[in-house]
Amino acid sequence: MLELTDAARVTAGVVLLTVVTIESGGFFLLAVARGKAPATDFQRAFYRAGHAHAGVLVILGLLCVLLTEVTSLTGFARWVAATGVLCAAIVMPAGFFFSAMGAGRMRPNRAAVLFPVGAVFIASGVVTLGVGLLTA
């Protein structure tokens, strides 16, 4: 049986509690789909993408927390492996939502800079974890 460190247990617990925020995003998407929250086609697409990225990255991030527990990584590398994808689960959806905000918006604003930042978090997290697993 896998025993989690206190850091992994607390991180996983906090992340699971944040799923409620993803759920509230789903309620917002329902309002958009029903026409109760006005949005352009561009905004609808970006809101859906932000919601989907949040859900998928939280699941992948929780898996990374668990898998990091069976590596011999320490220090900053351990932190990156365990939380890189979870950081992306905040940054990347924020990029989708913030870059689509504003009445009648038809294309992303400057908040789109968060996409490559999120991609760096994902890549650094999964590469570090992959190396950690292969060298354990």
Angstrom distance (rounded) from CA 110 to CA 129:
31
Matching residue, tokens 């990584």 = 73
The pTM (predicted TM-score) of the whole model is 0.92
Q: Which two tokens stand for residue 77?
A: 């590398």
Q: What is the DSSP letter of 113?
A: G
Taking a C-beta distance cutoff of 8 angstroms, is the pair 58, 89 a contact? yes
- pLDDT of 1 higher than 80: no
Predicted local distance difference test score (pLDDT) of residue 117: 98
Tens digits of per-residue pLDDT, 75-94? 999 999 999 999 999 999 99
Count how many residues are written for the chain.
136
pLDDT value, residue 123: 98
Question: In the structure, what pLDDT confidence band is assigned to residue 136 with cuts at 50, 70 and 90?
Answer: confident
18-39 pLDDT, tens per residue?
999 999 999 999 999 999 999 9
Q: What is the pLDDT of residues 100-124, one digit of tens each?
A: 999 999 999 999 999 999 999 999 9
CA distance readout (Å), 9 to 3, 49, 64: 9, 29, 13
Give the pLDDT score at 2: 74
Q: What is the mean pLDDT of the chain?
A: 96
In whole angstroms, what is the distance from residue 64 CA to residue 51 CA?
20
Collapsed DSSP state (helix, strand, coil) of residue 102: coil
The sign of the torsion formed by the CA atoms of 18, 105, 37, 47 equals negative
Q: Sign of torsion, CA 99 115 96 16? A: negative
**Would you list the domain boundaries of the chain?**
6-134
Return the pLDDT at 12.
96
Contact 121, 61 (CB under 8 A): no
